[in-house]
Amino acid sequence: MADQRFLVCASVLLLSLFPLTKSLDYKDALSKTILYFELQRSGHLPFNQRATWRDHSGLTDGLEQGVDLVGGYHDAGDNIKFGLPMAFTVTMLSWSVLEYHEEIAAAGELQHALEAIKWGTDYFIKAHTHPHVLWVQVGDGGTDHYCWQRPEDMTTSRRAYKIDEKHPGSDVAGETAAAMAAASIVFRTTNPHYSHLLLHHAKQVFEFGDKFRGKYDDDLINVKGFYPSVSGYKDELLWAGLWLYKATRKMEYMDYVIQNAHSFGGITWAMQEFSWDVKYAGVQIMASMVISQPLLHRDEHKKTLYKYREKAEHYICSCLNTTKHTPGGLLFTRKWNNLQYVTNAAFLLTVYSDHLKSTNQNIICHNKVIIGADDVFNFAKSQVDYILGLNPMNMSYLVGYGTKYPKRVHHRGASIISYKSNKAFIGCMQGYRGWFGRRKANPNVLTGAVVGGPDDHDRFRDVRANYMQTEACTYNAAPLLGTLGKLVGSGGSVRRQ
Ligand SMILES: *[C@@H]1O[C@H](CO)[C@@H](O)[C@H](O)[C@H]1NC(C)=O
Ligand SMILES: *[C@@H]1O[C@H](CO)[C@@H](O)[C@H](O)[C@H]1NC(C)=O
């Protein structure tokens, strides 16, 4: 490597200090990550459910409103079904499978990954009851958080909320369209009928979201304290446009992404984070990767796509340099659930590093520092390695992986005795009194969950009430599936002494 080349970060130096006694088993981590999605299931669990401490729940979801909303995922440690983060989770699971299909298959987990995606998309199909109606939430943040109950016991409100022409939600519609479009590609060969159905819904939901513009939390007041769309809906509309282009190869979708590039902020926002709310970096990275496609020969396309690429590379350079890192080398965006930004960044960087490699390109960051595909990938790997235990706490933030991992995950189901072993009803307050405040480890392991993670000095307090660090979310784990697939595939499965 040329010596002016950027040597990736302090993290690499630090890694060489801790770890050599430890070996990382990426394949085991990947299998666990997929299992987690079974633990977050709502609805009627199938006969082949492997995560056995959970049971059926939410079997009357939607009934009050006369719609069948049984199924889907809980977002985190509560029992609500939030449409926006759920859809983002499914988009990232699908993208992971699309990029690292073979690696995930070689790890023996492809079938499970497809099931995890389908558990989400089956629900989105049910929730899309009319071309211009999408049900986007079941349960109420207020009453759910007031109680500490297993999903199998819930006595809280299960009211369902929708968006429609009079109460638009272009953000949640855009993300749901993206999820269904991405999944339609995943199922194209194995389940063509289902794939076609998903694409049909994706197109309709996108048209609805684009035609009736608005932020879903303007009307859906209930979601404001939990998943407000702070970045607005324009990023999701571009994101959906790109996913629909990828799924259909129809120019009308690419034209949308090009024509709205400026007014929607796609080529003006320079980002340092990518999350369930803020999709710009993902849009920019996806747009950069289609530049070389022969279909896109028009100058107008190319010119705009290069502008997307400029911003994509800004994001990557930021991750490697500008964004704060902890002394142990972890990307640090904010203290509440920081690991979501890390797993999402690691995935984007991994995908982009593959793209750099296959197109034989480098990135030029600030002050003409040249970064190559390996630098980008090594940084992504350092982040995953940190999560799996190569960090100052020697703690794996992937629950159930290794010997030391969070034992008091902020999660209603995991922290209360399993419904399977004790069916006696546990009431709203009884859960807080008997289970939430205990010092003891959770009775059930939330295998494969990625918790919020450590603070900006690599410190982590394994306390249930410390929800900023000990709560796990589905959108932390979803992109990790892809990165772990890549790591398994690159033969780095075991780090030898
Ligand atoms: C990191 O960022 C600073 C400030 O933006 C810049 O001066 C420096 O050259 C960058 N270093 C690398 C290695 O990218
Ligand atoms: C982590 O492991 C290293 C090497 O085994 C050890 O020196 C260090 O004290 C450990 N740190 C903690 C917080 O357990």
pLDDT digits (tens, 9 = 90+) for 118-130: 999 999 999 999 9
pLDDT (tens digit per residue) in 471-492: 999 999 999 999 999 999 987 5
pLDDT at 18 exceeding the cut of 60: no
CA of 395 to the centre of ligand 2 (A): 10
Beta carbon of 367 within 6 Å of any ligand 1 atom: yes
Q: Has 200 been annotated as catalytic?
A: no
Structure tokens at 56: 């059926």
Read off φ and ψ for residue 450, nearest 5 degrees. -105, 120
Residue of 321, 325, 362, 379 to test ligand 1 pocket, by largest number of atoms within 8 Å of CB: 321
Over residues 48-105, the pLDDT tens digits come to: 999 999 999 999 999 999 999 999 999 999 999 999 999 999 999 999 999 999 999 9
Residues paired with 41 in a beta bridge: 73
Cβ-based neighbours of 145, under 8 Å, separated by 6 or more: 78
Instruction: For residue range 362-408, list pLDDT tens digits in order.
Output: 999 988 899 999 999 999 999 999 999 999 999 999 999 999 999 99
CB 468 near ligand 1, within 6 Å: no
**Residues 118 and 41 sit within 8 Å (Cβ to Cβ):** no
Phi, psi for 380 (deg, rounded to 5): -60, -45
Cα 363 to averaged position of ligand 1 atoms, centre (Å): 13
Average model confidence (pLDDT) for the chain?
A: 93
| Ligand sitting nearest the alpha carbon of 458 | 2
Look at residues 90, 99, 169, 98 and name the one whose alpha carbon lies nearest to residue 122: 90
**Which atom in ligand 1 lies closest to the alpha carbon of residue 320?**
14
Length of the chain: 497
State whether the beta carbon of 366 lies less than 6 angstroms from ligand 1: yes
State which amino acid sits at residue 12. Answer: V
Cα-flanking dihedrals φ and ψ of residue 370, to 5°?
-95, 130
Annotated active-site residue in 301, 355, 410, 411: 410
If you average pLDDT over residues 137-158, what whole number do you get? 93
Residue 496 Cα, ligand 2 centroid: separation in angstroms? 18
CA of 19 to the centre of ligand 2 (A): 9
Residue type, 88: F
pLDDT bucket at 9, cuts 50 / 70 / 90: very low
* Residue 358 contacts residue 412 (beta carbons within 8 Å): no
Cα gap 20→17, rounded to integer Å: 8
- Residue 35's pLDDT is what? 98
pLDDT (average), residues 160-166: 97
Tell me the best of 319, 325, 369 to mutate to test the pocket of ligand 1, counting ligand atoms within 8 Å of each CB and taking the most.
Answer: 369
Ligand nearest to the CA of 5: 1
CA of 99 to the centre of ligand 2 (A): 36
| Active site annotation includes 153 | no
Which residues are CB-neighbours of 428 under 8 A, at least 6 positions away? 146, 147, 148, 149, 155, 156
Q: What is the pLDDT of residue 23?
A: 83
For a mutational test of ligand 2's pocket, the pick from 18, 403, 457, i.e. the residue with the most ligand atoms closer than 8 A to its C-beta, is: 18
> Which ligand 1 atom is the nearest neighbour of the CA of 367?
9
Report pTM: 0.94
Question: In this structure, which residue's CA is closest to atom 11 in ligand 2?
Answer: 393
Q: Is 367 exposed, middle or buried (0-12, 13-18, 19+ CB in 10 A)?
A: exposed
Hey, whose CA ends up nearest to atom 10 of ligand 1? 366
Give yes or no: 219 in active site. no
User: Quick one: pLDDT at residue 297?
Assistant: 63
Whole-number Å distance, alpha carbon 445 to ligand 2 midpoint, is: 24
Percent of the chain past pLDDT 90, that is, above it, reads 88
Is 331 close to ligand 1, i.e. is its CB under 6 Å away?
no
d(CA 173, CA 168): 9
Query: What share of the chain in percent tops pLDDT 70?
Result: 94
The span from the CA of 363 to the CA of 376, in Å, is 9
Q: Which of 55, 354, 455, 462 is catalytic?
A: 462
pLDDT at 158 over 90: yes
**Domains along the chain with CATH numbers:** 10-496 (1.50.10.10)
State which ligand 2 atom lies nearest to the alpha carbon of 404: 14
Cβ contacts of 127 within 8 Å, gap of 6 or more: 67, 69, 72, 83, 134, 135, 136, 176
What is the residue type of 345?
A
Nearest CA to ligand 2 atom 3: 18
Ligand 2 interacting residues, C-beta cut-off 6 A:
18, 393-394
What is the dihedral sign for C-alpha 364, 367, 368, 370?
Answer: negative
Does 471 qualify as catalytic in the annotation?
A: yes
